Structure 1
């Protein structure tokens, strides 16, 4: 388990919530946005619940491509060992300065998702139930003014 040292949890959550996400399916990218329903994706990939996780840049610190690929391989091995179905996904900034590949997971419980996020040093993951808006789940304690981000859950509350 990796320790996260975040200077400003609210600022980090706002950046993650404002990022763009997509699930790659049959050559198409189905967009995801925090706070919005994922109706198109849910129609193609029905499940009770969804989560998006990456192993790239643990603790929100940039790592080399080689280190990130190694972390991703470890995450894939962990998902395979647990029998967790997945679909390629990615997160990226609208200005194109940041991009991270990841995985859309199906029907992973909140506790299992939190364990995976912490094991791979991820400060935030996406998680939502079918028919509900996409939510950001931060692996941090709720900071002051957290109400400013209505689609964010704080796992350490």
Structure 2
């Protein structure tokens, strides 16, 4: 049996209610546990079986200043580039849009490696989608 999450219930609910926008050739929005035909098609087109939505901003949902978040995102981008992965710009945003975080959709990044990166940047959670194109909330703490 896994240990209970350290993430406050209201924060978890905000993640489940959030929109996760992807800015590729065409913009589309992901939602937790809802099938995305756009994501499934993008994964097929890219020849990958999974993808991950993640950010380096605001560790443990504690707001940081814009410059610090930008530096963290740049470091995450560098690490993803080193792995030779296809990365699309994205943003996570609250349902009310009063919380917006620059993010990435990473095509072909496996769950274990994505979780490791998320933990490295002290993230509470990431989204992972398999071939079915359904983003699932993966808790990291």
Q: Which TM bucket (shorter chain)? A: 0.7 to 0.9
1:128 and 1:43 mapped to 2: Cα distance? 12
1:85 and 1:96 mapped to 2: Cα distance? 27
Partner of 2:121: 120
Contact kept? 2:43, 2:131, Cα under 8 Å: no
Partner of 1:32: 30
Instruction: Verify: 1:101 aligned to 2:102, yes or no.
Output: yes
Partner of 1:144: none
TM-score by length of 1: 0.79
* CA distance 1:110–1:41, change in 2 (3 Å): closer
Unaligned runs of 5+ in 1: 1-5, 141-157
For the aligned residue pairs, the C-alpha RMSD in angstroms reads 1.6
Secondary structure in structure 2 of the residue aligned to 1:35: coil
Contact kept? 2:23, 2:90, Cα under 8 Å: yes
* CA distance 1:8–1:51, change in 2 (3 Å): closer
Partner of 1:77: 78
Runs of 4+ in structure 1 displaced over 6 angstroms?
Answer: none
TM-score by length of 2: 0.87
Partner of 2:40: 42
Unaligned runs of 5+ in 2: none
Contact kept? 2:43, 2:51, Cα under 8 Å: no
C-alpha deviation, 1:126, in angstroms: 0.4
C-alpha deviation, 1:42, in angstroms: 2.2
